[in-house]
Chains A and B, each alone.
Chain A
Amino acid sequence: MHQLIVSAGPHLHVADSTRGIMLDVILALLPAGAAAVALFGWRSLLVMAVCVAAAVLSEYISRKIMRRDTTIGDLSAVVTGLLLAYNLPVTIPLWMAALGSAISIIVVKQLFGGLGQNFVNPALIGRIVLMMSFTAAMSQWTLPLAQQTVDAVTSATPLAIAKAGDSAQMPELMELFLGRHAGSLGETCALALLLGGVYLCIRRVITPLVPVVFVCTTGLLTFLAGYNPLEQILSGGLLLGAIFMATDYATTPINWKGKLIFAVGCGAITAFIRIFSSLPEGVSFSIIIMNIVTPHIDRLTIGKPFGSRKPERQAQ
């Protein structure tokens, strides 16, 4: 007698796994990490290492305390740690970086049930908490090493320059594209971020819908408000946020209609913050706000089964 397994179909399965998807995201983040090291020096690597280590350790310990299975093998904590690091200035004290990671993982992710259950992007909350708590350390925008001079180590970010209307200080578009300007670790090099985005699209981890709509909405609205849209798109955290955070599975709408609404909302809120508020940058807040309305967007955009007809729906 053979020992046969009886289970429900399907009895075939794709090879993709959660871990594989996370690995793809990590790979896609690597160009931006390499750019950060090239621009801001080896300390950026140290910040990334600390953030990732703190994230993984927090996940491991918090799962242990809550007596749940260890989930660090799915690599999602690595992604969160990396994303947080990319949102920090290179000069950040390492303990602050570690604290940010711990808050992201423990408070935002694990306390809400772990992978897939968090309702806002963990890395963004980590960044915002650090921003609110340590404003001075978090807004020390070092220039890339190559551009530092004896009397200028830090500089205003391009967005702050644009807000001040100081066009003489504004870096060239090419400089913006290559990331040769002051800013967070991983946000400055548009080229590296775009490479990562293209990789994710090719691997079908994300679709271009959200990043493209997000970026275009912000570009269009800032253009209408009299800013140079290309400068707006290439500066600040827009590309990092649009490619890597507005496409996070857990915290964004699940079907394409919802994703479209989400992307337009993110783009509009980012533009409004940049145009009207006293803050120079609004990508983090826009994504967080749209994260919070995501469950409602999901409910409103639920699809109709194949063959449904309008009159019948009303009749029901």
Chain B
Amino acid sequence: MAHNPKKELIRQKRRVRGGVRVPHYKNTADCATVELPVPGQVTIAMQQHIGRPCIPCVKKGDRVLVGDRVGDCTDGMCVPVHTGVSGQVTGITELLLPNGQSCQAVQIEADGQQTVSDAVCPPVVENREMFLQAVKDAGLVGLGGAGFPAYIKLNPGKPVDTLVVNAAECEPYITCDNREILENAQDIMRGVYAIRRYTDVQQVIFVVESNKPAAIRTLCDIAADSADTDNSVRVMRVASRYPRGAEKLTIYAATGRKVPPGGLPADVGCIVMNVTSVGTLGRYLQTGMPLVAKRLTVDGSAVQCPMNVRVPIGTAIKDVIAFAGGYAQEPGKLLMGGPMMGIALPDDTLPVLKQNNAILALNKQDAESPAFSACIRCGRCIKACPMGLQPVTVETDLRAENIGRLQKDGVQSCMECGCCAYVCPARRPLVQSMRLAKQALRR
């Protein structure tokens, strides 16, 4: 029997230029999330968001319970961090994050009891200020990968009318947003209604890529079943094409509004949140349990059993891989995130961060960086660039150290999605050129 969605889908009307067709590799789309057994030790980084790092508020020897705050906010843009295990603090160390920043980290030896802290109770939210405070107390950051503090996102200081819930999940391999929708749709809706109630948001649009039919069906059903009387919550199916989940492109697909170069979603009246962020918010409002664990997709050619697994934040990556059966082959590359924008890690002892959504281990063969050759000016990078830039021109101007031209090339609009380098038949490292060009402009 054909499924008859109760909620009508919105079809994508506008086609964004550029993007590339990447292989999906959504091997784990049907793998229900499993819980990682409590790891022996966690290392909780104090910098898991964009902004200023937290200050550890525990010291060596302290006993902590699940949900306890271990990193407190300083002034400015900052989000507190909590522990997902109960146990004893064994020390405060210095940690080099994958992006090259270094920060303090709290090491906790887990006792395996997972005793929940008394501090964990559903927050009382009556007005906008209390809501924003709750979002901050939840330790919520943008879980799509950027880690932008959610409480600032929800309070942009500009009039907004639309919440775009980003469930595009356009990176290959990653299926954790898909699982969030299938497993926690009620939490997502609770988050959506809270946001609609305490901000100026009037319409909510879920953007999902067409390669997740089950997620689309679930969202349609749940949106129809819930208290959405004025049909302000809608679901949009977009063609699967990387990088459809990029913020500006998602807004354009959902609303037709174009965020200007250097602008933020609020400039066009939008808030964009990852679907897992919204779900986490909904869960926090219900249970009071802050963001202490994260669902990860563990996959890649060097992993024994690809899976979706929920792990306490701070778990060492090697523990997660070991749970997934360990390495099937000698790993050549370890990625935090997807294969297009993920960061290659120097070793597997690094801890999981809030904004992580995947760990990919590629075998030696997949890990090999292709040798590059001369640019043949085929222009494929231009066709692929979703931001309308000309990576080949940027590369030429960079080599000529022509700063004036680099400025005109619009380098600052580059989001380093990697489409240009992905399609380049000469395998030129165009993303690096873009980064170097941005650096050259900053000087």
Binding between chains A and B: yes
Residues of B contacting A1 in the complex (Cβ-Cβ under 8 angstroms):
347
Residue B425 lies at the interface, judged by CB distance under 8 Å to chain A: yes
Tell me, rounded to whole Å, the shortest Cβ–Cβ distance linking A180 to chain B: 35
- Stretch of B26-34, B201-209, B328-336 on the interface side: B328-336
B376 touching A312 by the CB < 8 A rule?
A: no
- CA–CA, A76 and B425, complex, Å: 14
Residues of B contacting A13 in the complex (Cβ-Cβ under 8 angstroms):
370, 421-422, 427
Residue A9 lies at the interface, judged by CB distance under 8 Å to chain B: yes
Residue A292 lies at the interface, judged by CB distance under 8 Å to chain B: no
Residue B128 lies at the interface, judged by CB distance under 8 Å to chain A: no
Query: How many A residues, CB 8 Å from partner?
Result: 40
Residue A226 lies at the interface, judged by CB distance under 8 Å to chain B: no
Residues of A contacting B374 in the complex (Cβ-Cβ under 8 angstroms):
18, 71, 114-117
B370 touching A306 by the CB < 8 A rule?
A: no
A116 touching B427 by the CB < 8 A rule?
A: no
In the complex, which residue of chain A has the Cβ closest to the Cβ of B333?
A5
Main SS of chain B's interface residues?
loop
Q: Mark B242-276, 1 if CB is under 8 A from A, else 0.
A: 00000010001000001111010000000000000
- CA–CA, A168 and B103, complex, Å: 87
Q: Mark A297-316, 1 if CB is under 8 A from B, else 0.
A: 01000111111110010000
B390 touching A254 by the CB < 8 A rule?
A: yes
Residue A65 lies at the interface, judged by CB distance under 8 Å to chain B: no
Q: Mark B380-410, 1 if CB is under 8 A from A, else 0.
A: 0010001111101100000000000000111
Query: How many B residues, CB 8 Å from partner?
Result: 68
Tell me, rounded to whole Å, the shortest Cβ–Cβ distance linking B145 to chain A: 12
- CA–CA, A309 and B388, complex, Å: 13
Residues of A contacting B341 in the complex (Cβ-Cβ under 8 angstroms):
9-10
Residues of A contacting B373 in the complex (Cβ-Cβ under 8 angstroms):
18, 71, 74, 115
Tell me, rounded to whole Å, the shortest Cβ–Cβ distance linking A82 to chain B: 17
Given contacts A3-B332, A11-B335, A11-B367, 18 further A-B contacts (CB under 8 A): A1-B347, A5-B368, A7-B344, A9-B341, A11-B362, A16-B423, A17-B425, A17-B427, A18-B373, A18-B425, A71-B374, A115-B374, A116-B377, A250-B377, A254-B377, A302-B393, A302-B408, A306-B252
What are the 5 closest A-B residue pairs judged by CB atoms, nearest first? A10-B418, A305-B410, A305-B413, A307-B258, A11-B339
The 12 listed contacts between A and B (C-beta, < 8 Å) are A4-B334, A4-B346, A6-B346, A9-B416, A9-B421, A14-B422, A71-B374, A116-B375, A249-B378, A302-B390, A303-B388, A308-B260
